[in-house]
Structure 1
Amino acid sequence: MLLTDPIRMLPSLILPLAGVLFIGGFSPGSFLWAAFGIAGSVIYSAIRWATFTYQVVGDRLELTRALISRSVRTIPLERIRGVDVSTPPLHRLLDIAVLRIDTGAGGNDKQEGELDGVTAAEAERLKAVLLWHARARAGVPAGSGPGAAGAAGTVRGAAEAGTAPGAGEPAVTHYGTRGAGTPAPDRVFISVPRRWLVYGPLSGAYLLTPFALVAGAVGAAFQWGGELGLGERILWSAGEWLWDHPLLLAAAFALLLLAMPVIGVVMYAVFNWDFTLRSREGYLVAERGLLTRRSVSLERRRVRGFELVEGLVERRAGMARTWAIVTGLGDSQTRGQLLPVVPLPAALEVAGEAVGRIAADLRRHPAAARRRRLFRAISPWLVAAAGGLVAAVTEGSGFWWALVAAALLLAALGVPLGLDRYRSLGHAYDGSRLSVRSGSLRRSQAVVERRAVVGWTLSQTWFQRRAGLLTVTAGVGAGTGGYAAVDVGAAAGVDFVAEVTPDWLAPFVDGGTPA
């Protein structure tokens, strides 16, 4: 920790240290002050390490800090939704890890507890401790939990040795990594083959990385230019010189375009190298990462379904991404990922085995929904073309005629887009799970267990009322909180709600339509 903490703080110290050196004219005094700043960061890290302890006391985890004032954070074990173990590159060299505890407090992406610098073995041992309560609730005897030893211990920093509690202190249960009972063997649902790394650029998430790097470099150049005394004039002059050489600029742009798929593969590999999804003692465990290896555990009894997402390019290539729909999960877009970009059949098979598949086909929505999709995809561009036409006739400018042509082209492209959006609509129910699907550029299909539904919202805009359509949203205490079947026929939408939860809608229905 005395090494990793200062290195982690180094980016925030670079600018202040550079400022001290420049202000001091690189004199011996300025170097002395810079060295004092570095030494101060090491001393600060040492104090943080020496004044932080953690311990499992009965049914809770206590994190104690005493840097300036003493603070004790208590996390009941029953509130823990998952435990993540990650190993950044420097941590892997030192055989230590970062353990993060997610309680789903507020449904945000903040972890309630973090232990940075425990050994890799201790991280796995403590992970078993914190997840042991789920096995206990499932009926596993306490003595067969992850270690039945009754030793007590308070662990400081990355140390593993413990000391007995003092007089008057509560007993501290110390668990090992394995108990007296034999744990159930892991079941591996999928280990993503490395040849599938070539599918990474299809998601589009990493394709713009070269342009993002260039933009970041330009921003850093302007920021550092001021700090280093270069001034913005030199940077602007460099940009103007590049602008005056269009062939060189075009070549640089072409290189960035060529680098997009390569960088996409590299970034996909960095984040999803050896992606493995397995079942382990009541948890879904996803492990991935090349430089930073990360292990995420999701309690299976809190999983309520899955969401299948397909971008436009992914759909054309037959690919999809998958997330779990989990109750009380913070940072669900990262922690809830079941699969990165993989072939669609594999995604459906793995999601069906790990979470549960739906046994009913999606029902098509009425023709009025198709007309509505087409109207929404075409009408904005026709309005823009009409406005541009009026301006072009009035002013006779070539710019307005170009705008009219562009708007008409986009309106024409809106026809296949609207038809595709209509084909993507659908909803289904098989008696235990319901499913809704919508979207075109980003098509999303959610499959949710019936028990996860906590309410319904039936909504109609003025245009939907005119077309005899409505939107049915299933309120779910997991994931995004609600999943909508868009532009369902009014009668079919009510029937869908009555089919899934027949007792809920009866008091509000009169003659087959919402009262």
Structure 2
Amino acid sequence: MLLTDPIRMLPSLFLPLVGVLFLGGFSAGSFAWAALGVVGSVVYSAVRWATFTYQVVGDRLELTRSLVSRSVRTIPLERIRGVDVSHPPLHRLLGIAVLRIDTGAGGDDKQEGELDGVTRAEAERLKAVLLWHARARMARRAARGAAGAAPGAPVAGAGQGPATGVPVPDGAVPAPVRHEIGEATPERVFLAVPRRWLAYGPLSGAYLLSPFALLAAGVGAAFQWGEQLGVERRALWSAAEWLWQHWGVLVAALVLLLLITPPVDMAVYALFNWDFTLKAREGYLVAERGLLTRRSVSLERRRVRGFELVESLLERQAGMARAWAIVTGLGDSQTRGQLLPVVPRKVALEVTGEAVGPIRADLRAHPPAARRRRLFRAVFPWLAATACALPPAVIWSGPWWGAVAAGLLLALLGVPLGLDRYRSLGHAYDGSRLAVRSGSLRRSQAVVERRAVVGWTLSQTWFQRRAGLLSVVAGVGAGTGGYTALDVGEAEGVAFVSEVTPDWLAPFVAPGAD
């Protein structure tokens, strides 16, 4: 920790140290002050290390800091949703790890709980202890609720911890009742992603657009900060005009950028998803991944309420998809909730169905009025923009024909986009799980257990009322909080709600109403 902490602080110390050296004219005094700053960071790290302790006390974890004033953070074990262990490169070299505790509070890692710098063996041991204690307390509550026992009634099974040699005082925490909380089977691997599938990672739109985003950011930074770096804005405009006149150089640069983007994106994607493995262990779904930084994320299976299957346009063409878990009380679902990276869609459905639960009903198509709305929204904005831009272009003798051609081309491209958005719409219910799907450039299908639904919202815009459509939002106490079936027929939407939760809608429907 005396090595990793100062290295981690270097980015924040860089600008002050450079400022000291510049102001001091790179003299002996300025170097002495810079060295003093580095030594100070090491001393600060040493004091932080010496004044930080952690311990499991009864039914809680206590993190104590006494650097200037004493502070104690208490985390109830029953609130622990998961424990993640990561190994950044320097930590792996030194044989230590970072252990993060997720309580579903929605804060950052340090607010919820973080132990940075424990040994690998201690991280795995403490992870087992914390998860075992959390399961044990929930099992005791379930056993008491089932047997109707008094709150103070003793529960048998106390004594020894979860194969870690950690003593547990009698009467404090019971042994876990595995049949009440999850699996009693050995560790089970659902999928170990083959390394050749990492080649499909750049199909995600975020990876393909990253070079253009970097190029745009570089151009913007050049115009914004160029004068401060000694480059006049006139010179930047001259360079842009030269590139515009020598368009061959510009085209060659763009082609080169497109050629080098896939291998670079593939390498970056592989760094984060190397040897991705999804397994079940002691009532938890465990996802392990990473090349330089190896990370292990645990999700409590009994809190998983479904999954979300996401496909970009290119991933759909290649038959690939990604998957995230829909979990109650999960602070960072986009990172911690990932079940699968880019894998074949068939494999994604099989694995999520086995690990979380399948949807056994086909998606129902939405009415033709929904197709007309999708086409209108994909085509009309470009036609309207073209009509608005045409008069000024004609008056100013501008290239009006180019504006018209571009607007008509974009409107024409909106036709297949609108049709694809309509084909992506769908909803289903198989008696235990419901599913909704929408989107085209990013198509998302959410599969949620019926028990996770806590409410419904049926809404209509003025245009939807004219078309006889409505949007049905299933309120879920997990994931994003709600999943929408867009542009469902009025009768079909009400029937869908009545099918999933028949008793909820009955008081609001008039007898004999369609």
- Same fold, TM exceeding 0.5? yes
* Correspondence list, 1:433-512, <5 A: 433-511=433-511
Maintained 8 Å contact 1:305/1:326? yes
TM-score after normalising by structure 1: 0.88
Residue 127 of structure 2 corresponds to which residue in structure 1?
A: 127
Residue 306 of structure 1 corresponds to which residue in structure 2?
A: 307
Maintained 8 Å contact 1:83/1:296? yes
CA distance in 2, matches of 1:199, 1:451: 35
Residue 334 of structure 2 corresponds to which residue in structure 1?
A: 333
Residue 286 of structure 1 corresponds to which residue in structure 2?
A: 287
The answer to which of 245-254 and 480-489 deviates more is 245-254
Output the amino acid matched with 1:30: S
Maintained 8 Å contact 1:109/1:332? no
Label 1:429 to 1:62 Cα distance change in 2 as closer, same or farther (>3 A).
Answer: same
CA distance in 1, matches of 2:429, 2:67: 56
Output the amino acid matched with 1:26: F
Label 1:142 to 1:45 Cα distance change in 2 as closer, same or farther (>3 A).
Answer: same
Residue 400 of structure 1 corresponds to which residue in structure 2?
A: 400
CA distance in 2, matches of 1:42, 1:240: 49
Label 1:213 to 1:98 Cα distance change in 2 as closer, same or farther (>3 A).
Answer: farther
Label 1:286 to 1:480 Cα distance change in 2 as closer, same or farther (>3 A).
Answer: same
Deviation, structure 1 residue 233 = 2.4
CA distance in 2, matches of 1:108, 1:493: 39
Deviation, structure 1 residue 217 = 7.0
* Correspondence list, 1:20-419, <5 A: 20-106=20-106, 112-136=112-136, 137-138=138-139, 141-143=157-159, 145-147=161-163, 149=165, 184-211=185-212, 231-233=229-231, 244=242, 246=246, 249-393=250-394, 395=395, 397-419=397-419
Maintained 8 Å contact 1:129/1:146? yes
Output the amino acid matched with 1:146: P
Output the amino acid matched with 2:464: Q
Maintained 8 Å contact 2:432/2:450? yes
The answer to which of 183-192 and 286-295 deviates more is 183-192
Maintained 8 Å contact 2:96/2:119? yes
Residue 146 of structure 2 corresponds to which residue in structure 1?
A: none
Deviation, structure 1 residue 206 = 2.2
CA distance in 1, matches of 2:498, 2:190: 35
Q: Equivalent residue of 2:231, what SS?
A: helix
CA distance in 2, matches of 1:235, 1:386: 35
Q: Deviations over 1:252-272 (max 9, x none)?
A: 433222111111110110000
Output the amino acid matched with 1:3: L
How many residues align structurally? 485
Deviation, structure 1 residue 287 = 0.3
CA distance in 1, matches of 2:398, 2:90: 59
* Correspondence list, 1:411-430, <5 A: 411-430=411-430
CA distance in 1, matches of 2:44, 2:232: 39
Deviation, structure 1 residue 214 = 5.8
CA distance in 2, matches of 1:111, 1:214: 36
CA distance in 2, matches of 1:52, 1:224: 43
Deviation, structure 1 residue 388 = 2.7
Deviation, structure 1 residue 110 = 6.9
Label 1:27 to 1:396 Cα distance change in 2 as closer, same or farther (>3 A).
Answer: closer
Deviation, structure 1 residue 151 = 5.3
CA distance in 2, matches of 1:206, 1:403: 30
Q: Equivalent residue of 2:208, what SS?
A: coil
Q: Deviations over 1:29-63 (max 9, x none)?
A: 11000000000000010011011111000110001
Label 1:124 to 1:390 Cα distance change in 2 as closer, same or farther (>3 A).
Answer: same
Label 1:95 to 1:243 Cα distance change in 2 as closer, same or farther (>3 A).
Answer: farther
Q: Equivalent residue of 1:90, what SS?
A: helix
CA distance in 1, matches of 2:384, 2:123: 60
Q: Equivalent residue of 2:26, what SS?
A: coil
Output the amino acid matched with 1:316: Q
Q: Deviations over 1:122-151 (max 9, x none)?
A: 111111111113432346944464147565
CA distance in 2, matches of 1:216, 1:421: 31
Maintained 8 Å contact 1:494/1:513? no
Q: Equivalent residue of 2:230, what SS?
A: helix
Residue 145 of structure 2 corresponds to which residue in structure 1?
A: none
Structure 1: gaps spanning 5 or more residues: 153-170, 176-181
Output the amino acid matched with 1:344: R
CA distance in 2, matches of 1:466, 1:220: 48
Q: Equivalent residue of 1:398, what SS?
A: coil
Maintained 8 Å contact 1:312/1:442? yes
Maintained 8 Å contact 1:450/1:500? yes
Q: Equivalent residue of 1:195, what SS?
A: helix
CA distance in 1, matches of 2:279, 2:303: 16
Label 1:407 to 1:334 Cα distance change in 2 as closer, same or farther (>3 A).
Answer: same
CA distance in 1, matches of 2:160, 2:83: 21
Structure 2: gaps spanning 5 or more residues: 141-155, 176-182
CA distance in 1, matches of 2:52, 2:417: 57
Maintained 8 Å contact 1:88/1:97? yes
Same amino acid, percent of matched pairs: 76
Label 1:274 to 1:37 Cα distance change in 2 as closer, same or farther (>3 A).
Answer: same
Question: What value does the CA root-mean-square deviation take over the aligned residues?
Answer: 2.8
Q: Deviations over 1:156-175 (max 9, x none)?
A: xxxxxxxxxxxxxxx999x9
CA distance in 1, matches of 2:486, 2:16: 54
Maintained 8 Å contact 2:106/2:332? no
Maintained 8 Å contact 1:438/1:485? yes
Deviation, structure 1 residue 184 = 3.7
Deviation, structure 1 residue 391 = 3.5
Maintained 8 Å contact 2:160/2:167? no
CA distance in 1, matches of 2:37, 2:218: 27
CA distance in 1, matches of 2:164, 2:343: 41
Label 1:339 to 1:462 Cα distance change in 2 as closer, same or farther (>3 A).
Answer: same
Output the amino acid matched with 1:433: R
TM-score after normalising by structure 2: 0.88
Deviation, structure 1 residue 285 = 0.2
CA distance in 2, matches of 1:221, 1:412: 36
Maintained 8 Å contact 2:129/2:164? no
CA distance in 1, matches of 2:467, 2:277: 47
Maintained 8 Å contact 1:87/1:98? yes
Residue 179 of structure 1 corresponds to which residue in structure 2?
A: none
Deviation, structure 1 residue 442 = 0.7
Output the amino acid matched with 2:125: R
CA distance in 2, matches of 1:504, 1:250: 60
Label 1:100 to 1:236 Cα distance change in 2 as closer, same or farther (>3 A).
Answer: farther
